[in-house]
Each structure stands twice: as C-alpha cells, then as structure tokens.
Structure 1
Amino acid sequence: MPLFFSGEMINAYLFLNTFLAFLAFSFAASAVYIFNDFLDLKDDLIHPRKRFRPIASGEIDKKNAILIMLVLASFGVFISTNIIFHALIVIIIYFIINIAYSVYLKNVVILDVNVIAFGFVLRIWLGAIVTDVNLSIWIVILTYLLALFLALAKRRDDVLIFLNSGLKMRKVIDAYNIKFINITMIILAAVIVMTYILFTLSNEVQLRIQNEHLYLTVLFVLLGLIKYLQLAFFDENTASPVSIILNDRFIQLMVFLWVLSYSFILYL
C-alpha cells in the first residue's frame, strides 16, 4: 500500500523489495496462526467452522505442525534479514505482540481487537521501510480503523455463535454483545468514511498527486462499507473478511472500481 499510494508501483527495484517483504510477513503471520491454533485447539474442536482447520481436524498432526511453524518463522526472519535490518525489527515486534496476544491479550476486552488492528499497521510500516517511502499519517489511520472495523465484525460472529449455541469460542466473549458491537461498527464505518473524505480533500495529498479529483473515489469506499454492514447486520455473515471478498460480487466490484479510479488519478 505505501508503494501504491506513493505512485512508485512501476519502480522495479522497490517492487521487488516490497514483494520480498510481503513473503517475509506472510511466512511470519502463518507461523503465528499455527501457534495460535495450538493454543485454541480445545475451542476450535467445538467451533462450527474452525473445527475443519488442519490441526483441529487432525489433517496435520501436532509434530508436523510444529515443524511447519518453525520453518515458516525461520523463512520470515531470514528473508527480512536480507532486505534491510529495520524489516527484521518489524517482524520481531510482530512475533512478540502476537505471542502475547495468543497467550493473554486475546482475553482482554477491547484490547484484543486493537492488537489485531495494530498487526495490520505493522504490515504497512514494513512496506514503507523496505521502499523508503515516508508513511503518510492518513494511511496509518485508515489502515488501523478499517482493520479494527473488520476485527469487530469477526468478534460479532463469535457472539452470534454464543447466542445460538451457548458455546463460548473466546473467554472475552462475555464482555461483548450484539448491540455494543453493532453501534461500534457503525461509528467506525462513519469515522472511516469521514477520514477518507478528509484524506482526499487534504491540500498535502492534492499537491503531492497533482490532482483535485481524488474525492470521486469516496463513492466506492462508502458503498463497500455499507455493503459490509448489510452482510453483518442482515445476512449475519462476517466470520471471514477474506471469504467475503472472494465471494461477494458487489464488494469485489467496489474494490476493483476503487483501485481502477485511484490508479487512473494517481498514475495517468
């Protein structure tokens, strides 16, 4: 994202660095997910969807999973070490925060979803470091807010499972309810749209990209968020943001139109 927003996507050297950083963080995140699945194994076994995960379903035994986790973590560290030293620091911070999350922080209300959101901020920090791009405060705020919005949507699914089956997927679920999450998601959606509008109208941004028409992309952000709220409140289907993006044609269209319009304004 820093590379895209800086208008340097066509820079082959920076693109290669970004791709390597992407691989490093993907390996690190995968190792963290395996570690978390180990700790959540008891809960995953009774979860309607997570019980089909490789470790919970028995598709991969624990010894092989540990081996895979160590290999992935090693790859993440090795690749980041060979890009730039500061990239390694970001990866290590990510490991520390997520181990703390898996062991304890996921049981602390409000803090649990904020830790998840911060993980995505670390991703864009890594992207900025390996491309030597000055990270705009706008992208940091928008990334954090959107990640927090999606994390709450996932937490909402855990509350629904508890209400429908009486099964507690997380200890922290007692501190959440549907009304609280709905109100918070609506507030976040409004703040995201307002922040994005301010971003598009910022003199700093308009001068940097030499274009005053960025505000036109607000439409796609607004419609995409409204659709996501509809999926959450009406269809009650926000367990997996990735699954939604891969299957919901309307959201796919909004993402495509946003990328297309933003690219046209930024690069042409």
Structure 2
Amino acid sequence: MQQPYKAVQPQFSKMPKYLLLTMRPKQWVKNIFVFAGLIFANDLLLTNPQSLLRVLATFGLWCLIASSIYLINDLVDIEKDRDHPKKRYRPLASGHLAPSSAIVATLIFLVIGLPLAWMLSREVAIILAVYVVMQLAYSFRLKHVVILDVFIIAAGFVFRTVSGAVVLGIDISPWLLICTGLLSLFLALAKRRHELVLLETGAGSHRRVLDEYSTELLQEMISLITASTLIAYILYTLNPTNPHIPTSPFPLMLITVPFVIYGIFRYLYLVYKKDEGGSPEELLLKDLPMLADIVLWGITVVSISYIFRQ
C-alpha cells in the first residue's frame, strides 16, 4: 500500500545536489541524437576536430536547455507527482528542493543557454527556442491531447538530430529524419504504455491523457510503428544518401540491420515482459545487452562509412 505523502524541509547546503537530480542528467543520453549528422555526413567530419567541437557544444546546450524544461515540468506537476509511486521521490515533489530555487535555476539556464546557442549558430538557437516554446505548450496544455502528446515527445528527438546537422552546415537526409521520427514515436508509445500499466486504475488522475489510451490501443500503435521503423531503416540501408559508401555488389550498410532488429526486439521484451519503458535513457544505461547492441551498431556504421569509402 502506498504511504501518504509527507513533506520535508529543503536544506540549502544540499540544494546543488537536488537541483542536479531535478536536471535529470541520466536523460542527457537523449542528446546523443545530435551526433547523427556528424556520423552520417558525406565528408569525414567525425575526424575533423572543429566539427566535433561544434557538435559537442550543441550537445552541451541541449543538456542545459532540456534541464530547464525538466525543471518546469516538475514545477507544473509537483502536486500530481506527490501521488505517483515513483515520481513522489523527485526533489521538488518530496520537498528537498524549494520551488523558488528551481524557478531561479530555470531562468538562469535559459538566459545563458539561448544566447550561447545564438553565438554558436543562429539556426541552432532558433531550434532550441522553438523547442522551449513547444515544451511549454506541452507542459501546460498539449500533454493532455491524445496522440498529439506522443508526437511532441518524438519531435524533441528530431529537433536534436536536425540541430546536429545544421550546426555543421550540412544537408539533412530525409531518411535520417524519417528513421529518427519513427524510432522516437516507438519510444514515446512505449513510455505511455509503461505509465498506464504502472498506475493502473489511477492513471488518469496523474496524467489526464492516459484515460484516452488503453493497453490494447497502445499495443496496436506500437506494432504499427515497429514495422514502419524497421522497413524505413532497411530501405535507408538499401538507398544510402552517402555516395561514398559502395552499394555494389552488396549494400554494406545492410549489415547493420540485424543490430537494429535485435535492439527493437530487446526493447519490446523489456516493455512487455519486464514492464519497463518509462525511461529509455535508464534502459540504455542499465541493460547490458541493449547497450552492447547499440555500441556494436555504432562501430559497424562508422567502420562502413569510413573504411569502405571510394
């Protein structure tokens, strides 16, 4: 039986610790999507120190801006999080971090992050600004709109991918956007299913939009998006946008398909058999088979792109 909420008094000496926890550094793993353009670029940008530094700077800016959004989300949901079996232990919901401290930190992150992004790349700054506006709309209204809520979650990953390409001034492959968007929808739907299963009959009281979903509906959606993701990736490997990768007599990028299939199947196993999927970044960090699969996929992609160039 869930224990009733009991507030604690925030301690100033521990404020940095709880502020960092609320910034959710584990979720910074999502920002690795900014490296996609660097890896799949036509030129050898991965070995170019200047290009690598620009993408690393973009990664850092995403960590800063995304952290401000996490703070806003926790401020908006502070009362509902106190009734959640897991989120009630977050610093704001538990009382370890004062709301005033979170508000000040949010403003500082935004005031520092957006101007720095403008100095790095105007396009990246615009993408981050649009992301902030979109997430504010999500936090206050759009997270209650069925189906649109998962599209907004997925859009965040696409924004990261696009920003990683524009900071380098390279063309954005439509295949890269399609695969990123579909994979992001897959992760978002799995997250909704996890919330629905975890909260059971009380799901709607914590997140109103969950009343509009059912496990059967989400299962159908996940099945559809899983097939679409695999087909899109396979077509991408058969029609690479990188002209330097040989496609005859055998499209070498097709070798990476088994890693993608295994990764998706492993994720489905964790979602349906282990009731995971609420935090993709945590699964990535703690599930060794998943982590090993992603590392091997990355090594294979880079090897094909950089060793077999014409």
Q: Distance in 1 between matches of 2:283 and 2:142?
A: 27
Structure 1 segments, 4+ long, off by >4 Å, are: 164-167
- In the alignment, the residues of structure 2 paired with residue 127 and residue 223 of structure 1 have an alpha-carbon distance, to the nearest angstrom, of 26
Aligned to 2:267: 228
2:55 equivalent to 1:18 = yes
Amino acid at match of 2:145: V
Q: Alignment RMSD, CA only?
A: 1.4
SS in 2 for 1:209: coil
Aligned to 1:209: 245
Indicate the SS of the match to 2:205. Answer: coil
Q: Which amino acid aligns with 2:300?
A: S
Counterparts of 1:76 and 1:32 in 2: how far apart (Å)? Answer: 12
Shift of 1:162: 3.2
SS of 1:133's equivalent? Answer: coil
Structure 2 length-normalised TM: 0.83
Q: How far off its partner does 1:228 sit?
A: 0.6
Deviation of 1:156 after TM superposition, in Å, equals 0.7
- TM-superposed deviation, 1:208: 3.6
| Aligned partner of 1:244 among 279, 283, 286 | 283
Q: Quick check: 2:190–2:222 contact (8 Å CA) kept in 1?
A: yes
Aligned partners of 1:260 and 1:124: how far apart in 2? Answer: 19
Instruction: Give 1:47's aligned residue.
Output: 84
147, 150, 156: which one aligns with 2:193: 156
Q: Deviations over 1:44-99 (max 9, x none)?
A: 11111111112112221111111111111122212201112222111111111111
C-alpha deviations, 1:153-185, integer Å up to 9, x for none?
Answer: 111112113326566320101110101111211
Aligned to 1:261: 300
1: CA distance, partners of 2:97 / 2:115: 25
Distance 1:173 1:17 in 2: 39
3-state SS of 2:47 partner: coil
* SS in structure 2 of the partner of residue 131 of structure 1: coil
Q: 8 Å contact 2:61–2:113 — kept in the other structure?
A: yes
TM-score under structure 1 normalisation? Answer: 0.95
Q: Output the CA distance in 2 between the equivalents of 1:147 and 1:127.
A: 16
Which residue of structure 1 lines up, in the alignment, with residue 38 of structure 2? 3
CA displacement, residues 117-161 of structure 1 (integer Å, 9 cap, x when unaligned): 111111111111110111100110111111111111111112113
Aligned-pair CA distance for 1:248 = 0.8
Q: Which residue identity is paired with 2:101?
A: N
Q: Give the match for residue 33 of structure 1.
A: 70
Using the alignment, how far apart are the partners of 1:140 and 1:262 within structure 2? 17
Structure 2 gap segments, 5+ residues each? 1-35
8 Å CA contact 2:203, 2:211 repeated in 1: no
- Please tell me whether the aligned partners of residues 204 and 211 of structure 2 are also in contact (alpha carbons under 8 angstroms): no
